[in-house]
A and B are shown apart, each in its own frame.
Chain A
Amino acid sequence: MNSEEVIDVIQDYIDDEEILSEKKVIATTDRERYRDALQTLWDKGIQHITTITATDFGEETEIIYHISCDGTLLDLVVSVPNEDLEISTITDIYPAAILYERELMDLFGIDVLDHPDPRTLVLPDDWPEYKYPLKKGQYDYQAIAEAENVSDVKEIAEDDDFDPELMLEAEKENKDRKSLIEWLETRIGKEEGD
């Protein structure tokens, strides 16, 4: 199956297509129709899902289903707004997507509806809730990189309304690491008191 034949199969369910080469094609669709597109492909005997990639763009999250159609790689792109970050599972169509969807839930906080096994896949058991490593602007990575022990990292990661400018200011005022950590502790302690 070459790129054009792939597009012919899913023509009714896509908004836009970009044929990069005979073996690479990108198609854009939306949340209402992507499952129909995938179901049509499965019915045509395309059973191989390579993986699912998500990317956080701040306002919206782009989810790409990489489907291997007999040597041709189809990237089926679905965009989901970040304030309503949920998508239906495709494991009933493509059973192999089960791990990739668990990865989406873990790393991006995407709510995969009707997933048969929505447990944590790669993150530790004590990972703070509502923190997703691959979302943009989630953590103060500089502070995490410089932290001396795990509990510091956890505190920084759990700090809900982290403000980069405030952090910079704090670093200016507190020249050495010890006083910086003390400063962070008092700040976190104060929030807990509130």
Chain B
Amino acid sequence: MSFVVPVGPQHPALEEPEHFRFTVEGEEIVDVDFRLGYMHRGIEKAFEEKSFPRALYLAERICGICSGIHSIACVEAVEELAGVEAPRRARFLRTVLAELERVHSHLLWAGIAAHEIGFMTLFHLTWRDREHVLDVLEMLTGNRVNYAANKIGGVRFDVEPKHLGKISNVLDDLEEDALRYMDVFTSDRTITARCEGEGVLSKGEALRLATVGPTARASGVDEDMRRDDPFAAYGEIDVDVKTAEGGDVLANAEVRLSEILESINILRNAVEQLPEGPLSVDAPKKIPEGQATNRVEAPRGELLYHFKSDGGEKPSRGKVRTPTMANIPAIIEKLKGETIAEIPIVVASIDPCFCCTERVQIVDKNTGKTQTLTKKELREMREE
């Protein structure tokens, strides 16, 4: 007999609620349906009501975790429209910002993954280390999130000689920690038992569904906008793209943890090669008529911004495609054939901006009887 298990839409702890409906036969998931839009804030429409500099601050508020990369993607699209190019030093500083953000975002993911499988010690350790990255970001830009670090034509922060000591100390510590987590994730029996072979996405499916970012790379798809379509200063810095073969949750962890190590390398190179020069150039207030499309590699994957200007001070159209949107078909594919107990970790494995397992309802399709489960009960079911 098949049941429909609705999951979501509200979870008070994590952003971006979403609603899933799992059709299950016994424990096995045979079909998945979903509903988006609970967090649709009309930002694309709001772009049309804001001047270009203010659109930048709005873009930054799309995501609380990767706010810096949204602002970089937005500012580079607007710069292309305006026909200005940020100075070389500004582009290197944007790279520093993007990589610091990638490190803290991946550490956050590692923590959430550990939390979903009940490994609370690891959750606390990764989030403790994430704080050190946030400290560096606060030192450089004045904010832990929503850095307001970019402006049209350049950046609004600088890496000064007095910052270098702290940055280098944090990077050294982080490298050590990331190697340790890599070791834990690949050797700990609790983790391998829960993550190995779960939520598998084959390379063919990943390509067919246009999956992006670490989710695609964990399935062996060799794509990374930092190398393939360089933005900021990535054209001048080597990026070693990390891939894994398994396509399961463990491969996702491996890719993200090795990306932390690669980001540390990029950060060291960027800070070392930081060129002298101005931080910004003047940009016109009125943006010439035209359109610009820009893609960047956000921590979760390819992020696209498209802006149109009709020659005024406001965009006539602003379009954003976030990586989670592109990865939703992949979640569906990953969940088919899994069990209810694996829902939290498999959904978390693509690092979505939501996880909504706080309230689960089990509906008996034949009688229409509804039973509500809490997250705690769901966890207990998993342990049985």
* Chain A interfacial positions (CB closer than 8 Å to B): 23-24, 47-51, 53, 55, 64, 66, 68, 70-73, 75, 94-96, 98-100, 107, 120-124, 133-134, 141
Contact = CB atoms under 8 A, between A and B. Distances in A.
A75 B317 CA distance: 16
B319 A51 contact: yes
B87 interface: no
Contacts, number: 71
Contact of A50 (B36, B210, B328): B210
Contact of B293 (A71, A73, A94, A124): A73
Interface of chain B, helix or strand or loop or mixed? mixed
Given A96-B326, A99-B328, A121-B37, A133 B42 contact: yes
B173 interface: no
A69 B308 CA distance: 22
A50 B305 CA distance: 11
B352 interface: no
Given A95-B209, A96-B210, A75 B293 contact: yes
Contacts of B179: none
A124 B37 contact: yes
A75 B77 CA distance: 14
A68 B297 CA distance: 13
B369 interface: no
A187 to B, nearest CB: 25
Which 8 A-B pairs rank lowest in CB-CB distance, beginning with the nearest? A96-B210, A71-B228, A122-B37, A51-B321, A53-B319, A55-B317, A122-B40, A48-B210
Contacts of B229: 23, 71-73
Pick the most buried of A24, A68, A120: most chain B CB atoms within 10 A of its CB.
A68
Given A55-B317, A96-B208, A134-B44, A66 B293 contact: yes
Contact of B306 (A66, A96, A122): A66
A55 B295 contact: no
A120 B325 CA distance: 15
Contacts of B326: 50-51, 96
Given A53-B306, A96-B329, A133-B45, A123 B37 contact: yes
A96 B228 contact: no
Contact of A141 (B40, B49, B321): B49
A72 B230 CA distance: 11
A70 B293 CA distance: 16
A122 B36 contact: yes
Nearest to A141: B49
26 contacts: A47-B207, A47-B210, A48-B223, A50-B210, A50-B326, A51-B304, A51-B325, A53-B306, A53-B317, A53-B319, A64-B293, A66-B293, A66-B321, A68-B302, A70-B228, A71-B228, A73-B229, A94-B210, A95-B208, A96-B329, A98-B329, A99-B325, A99-B329, A107-B44, A121-B36, A122-B40
Interface of B: 36-37, 40, 42, 44-45, 49, 207-210, 223, 228-229, 293, 295, 302, 304, 306, 308, 316-317, 319, 321, 325-326, 328-329
B37 A50 contact: no
B35 to A, nearest CB: 8
A48 B223 CA distance: 11
Pick the most buried of A24, A50, A70, A124: most chain B CB atoms within 10 A of its CB.
A50
Pick the most buried of A53, A100, A120, A133: most chain B CB atoms within 10 A of its CB.
A53
A123 B40 contact: yes
A75 B308 CA distance: 13
B165 to A, nearest CB: 38
A5 to B, nearest CB: 15
B40 to A, nearest CB: 5
A50 B302 contact: yes
Nearest to A103: B325
Contacts of B37: 120-124
B308 A55 contact: yes
Contacts of B223: 48
B337 to A, nearest CB: 19
A50 B321 CA distance: 8
A137 B234 CA distance: 41
A124 B40 CA distance: 9
Given A71-B229, A73-B229, A47 B319 contact: no
A120 B37 CA distance: 9
Contacts of B329: 95-96, 98-99
